[in-house]
């Protein structure tokens, strides 16, 4: 479990890291955090400043609490405009030299107030808080996020139109994919699979499950790495929900399993497909809050251009074994450790800390209430009477989010309000735009 250390311990950790990084030719460290719009923002320090930065943090402008996808800003009662400062503190437990950005290392950062108290708007802190709440109840969670991306040439056109999942596409980009694989592996990431996806230019990578905060960190690092490898080859990368109007989009599927005493509660239990009662309650909690959770996991106006039926995006509020049109796909796996639930509806415009923390909070509420898991959906929900669509637009998801007492309570007043303000502002930003204009405005932002 990712933990936080007091300043003196962080400084000691940084001194050790500095010595090691210096011998590996690292000149500087970049600290990253993801804003409420899903954009990774960064600052960097030269290696000689790492100790100071780890102990005291580096300054972060509070306006990025309310930044939008187009780099404009909204506001909330708690936002301070041009005034004030937050401290970005790198988590050196996750420090990684960047294989495709020689001379640079990366660390995810938490945000603190200047007095050293955790910043209530810190999304990573939120994910950590909820993870700890689950652990206090005797459970643990393993998570992983699949990354889909479209690789494009310098003109912005998909770099391959060879068949989806096809060997031709793989051969065309064999050296590129090898570099991606090598860079991820060199950074200590446990790649499970790498393959050509369906849409033009699309590929996908999956990594091994780990703790929730670590899984969010990994998702961010994987994306940076793929982008950096691509940039070195003159290629561009898009993780946007939709690259081409009407096509299949880029998902950011979240896989989760709930564990107790070393046992996966999604396997070998008396419930449907081997679910244990606690896993059923947890999934029921997530399903109950799913419309509201879309405000965290599919946060962009563009997200709803992807989240449509018959695109394997999980546009229906239901669950089913290996059902790729259900928002919640249950994966039995061939071994106890593999069983998990896949939240297919989410995409990579999401701040992964918000998406994971939100799902865990909803699952925890389901556990606490002993919520029953509704009947399974068998077959394509589009063909079934009464199948419930998830919100079909960002304003609809915002409505559900505003009604969610579970998310309001879990996020805390400041983060809850800030997310709401950012969602409303983006809905307004794009309210008068055509689908094509929304896609154009978001294609290269995430
Ligand atoms: N690209 C699809 C999406 O938008 C997912 C395809 C799949 O991996 O099932 O989520
Ligand atoms: Mg896929």
Q: Encode pLDDT of 169-194 as tens digits.
A: 999 999 999 999 999 999 999 999 99
- The alpha carbon of 315 and the centre of ligand 1 are apart by a number of angstroms equal to 11
What are the tens digits of pLDDT across the range 296-328?
Answer: 999 999 999 999 999 999 999 999 999 999 999
Q: Is the pLDDT of residue 335 over 90?
A: no
Q: Is the pLDDT of residue 430 over 70?
A: yes
Average pLDDT over residues 240-266: 97
What are the tens digits of pLDDT across the range 366-410?
Answer: 999 999 999 999 999 999 998 999 999 999 999 999 999 999 999
**Nearest atom (ligand 1) to Cα of 241:** 4
- The alpha carbon of 149 and the centre of ligand 2 are apart by a number of angstroms equal to 9
**Nearest atom (ligand 1) to Cα of 253:** 10
410 lines ligand 1 (CB under 6 A): no
Which of 83-87, 340-344, 355-359 is predicted with the least confidence, judged by mean pLDDT? 83-87
Amino acid 109: pLDDT: 98
Nearest CA to ligand 1 atom 10: 251
Q: Is the pLDDT of residue 1 over 50?
A: no
324 lines ligand 1 (CB under 6 A): yes
| Gyration radius of the chain over CA positions | 21
**Nearest atom (ligand 1) to Cα of 251:** 10
248 lines ligand 1 (CB under 6 A): yes
Residue 80 banded pLDDT, cuts 50, 70, 90: confident
7-121: CATH, from 2.40.50.140, 3.10.20.70, 3.40.50.720, 2.60.40.1180: 3.10.20.70
Average pLDDT over residues 27-52: 98
Q: Is the pLDDT of residue 81 over 90?
A: no
148 lines ligand 1 (CB under 6 A): yes
Residue 10 banded pLDDT, cuts 50, 70, 90: very high
- The alpha carbon of 249 and the centre of ligand 1 are apart by a number of angstroms equal to 7
Amino acid 333: pLDDT: 82
Amino acid 17: pLDDT: 96
- The alpha carbon of 84 and the centre of ligand 2 are apart by a number of angstroms equal to 42
- Domain-by-domain residue ranges, the chain? 7-121, 130-442
Indicate the average pLDDT of the chain.
97
97 lines ligand 1 (CB under 6 A): no
Task: Give the number of the ligand closest to the Cα of residue 323.
Answer: 1
Q: Is the pLDDT of residue 4 over 90?
A: no
Nearest CA to ligand 1 atom 7: 312
Nearest CA to ligand 1 atom 9: 312
Residue 79 banded pLDDT, cuts 50, 70, 90: confident
Task: Give the number of the ligand closest to the Cα of residue 348.
Answer: 1
241 lines ligand 1 (CB under 6 A): no
Amino acid 76: pLDDT: 94
249 lines ligand 1 (CB under 6 A): yes
Q: Is the pLDDT of residue 29 over 60?
A: yes
- The alpha carbon of 428 and the centre of ligand 1 are apart by a number of angstroms equal to 27
- The alpha carbon of 246 and the centre of ligand 1 are apart by a number of angstroms equal to 14
Q: Is the pLDDT of residue 82 over 90?
A: no
- The alpha carbon of 145 and the centre of ligand 1 are apart by a number of angstroms equal to 12
User: And the tokens for 9?
Assistant: 């311990």
- The alpha carbon of 148 and the centre of ligand 1 are apart by a number of angstroms equal to 8
- The alpha carbon of 368 and the centre of ligand 2 are apart by a number of angstroms equal to 33
130-442: CATH, from 3.30.930.10, 3.30.2270.10, 3.30.590.10, 3.30.365.10: 3.30.590.10
306 lines ligand 1 (CB under 6 A): yes
Question: Rounded to whole angstroms, how far apart are CA atoms 27 and 47?
Answer: 5
**Nearest atom (ligand 1) to Cα of 148:** 1
312 lines ligand 1 (CB under 6 A): yes
Q: Does the pTM of the predicted model rise above 0.85?
A: yes
- The alpha carbon of 151 and the centre of ligand 2 are apart by a number of angstroms equal to 15
Closest CA to 37 of 301, 255, 392, 223: 301
Amino acid 160: pLDDT: 95
Amino acid 78: pLDDT: 85
291 lines ligand 1 (CB under 6 A): no
Amino acid 2: pLDDT: 58
């Amino acid at each position: 479990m990712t933990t936080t250390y007091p300043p003196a311990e962080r400084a000691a950790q940084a001194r050790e890291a500095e010595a090691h990084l210096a011998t590996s030719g690292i000149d500087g460290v970049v600290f990253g955090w993801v804003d409420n719009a899903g954009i990774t923002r960064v600052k960097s320090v030269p290696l000689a400043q790492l100790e100071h930065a780890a102990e005291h943090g580096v300054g972060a402008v509070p306006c990025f609490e309310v930044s939008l996808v187009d780099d404009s800003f909204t506001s909330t009662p708690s936002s301070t405009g041009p005034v004030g400062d937050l401290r970005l503190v790198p988590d050196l437990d996750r420090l990684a030299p960047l294989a495709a950005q020689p001379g640079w290392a990366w660390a995810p950062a938490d945000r603190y107030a200047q007095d050293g108290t955790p910043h209530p708007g810190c999304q990573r802190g939120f994910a950590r808080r909820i993870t700890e709440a689950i652990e206090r109840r005797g459970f643990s969670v393993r998570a992983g996020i699949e990354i889909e991306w479209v690789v494009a040439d310098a003109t912005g056109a998909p770099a391959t139109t060879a068949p989806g999942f096809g060997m031709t596409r793989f051969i065309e980009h064999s050296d590129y994919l090898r570099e991606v694989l090598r860079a991820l592996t060199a950074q200590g990431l446990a790649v499970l699979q790498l393959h050509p996806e369906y849409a033009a230019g699309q590929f996908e990578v999956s990594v091994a499950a780990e703790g929730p905060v670590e899984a969010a960190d990994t998702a961010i690092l994987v994306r940076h790495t793929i982008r950096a490898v691509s940039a070195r080859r003159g290629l561009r990368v898009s993780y946007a929900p939709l690259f081409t109007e009407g096509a299949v989009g880029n998902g950011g599927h979240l896989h989760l399993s709930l564990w107790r005493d070393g046992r996966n509660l999604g396997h070998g239990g008396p419930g449907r497909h081997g679910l244990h009662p606690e896993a059923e309650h947890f999934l029921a909690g997530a399903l109950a809050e799913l419309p509201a959770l879309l405000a965290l996991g599919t946060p962009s106006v563009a997200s709803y251009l992807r989240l449509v039926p018959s695109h394997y995006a999980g546009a229906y509020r239901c669950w089913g074994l290996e059902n790729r049109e259900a928002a919640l796909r249950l994966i039995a796996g061939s071994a106890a450790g593999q069983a998990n639930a896949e939240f297919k509806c989410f995409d990579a415009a999401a701040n992964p800390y918000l998406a994971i923390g939100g799902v865990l909070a909803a699952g925890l509420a389901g556990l606490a209430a002993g919520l029953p898991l509704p009947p399974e959906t068998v077959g394509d929900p589009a063909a079934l009477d009464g199948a419930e669509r998830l919100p079909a637009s960002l304003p609809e998801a915002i409505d559900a989010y505003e009604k969610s007492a579970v998310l309001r309570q879990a996020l805390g007043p400041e983060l809850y309000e800030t997310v709401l303000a950012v969602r409303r502002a983006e809905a307004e930003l794009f309210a008068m735009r055509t689908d094509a204009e929304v896609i154009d405005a978001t294609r290269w932002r995430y």
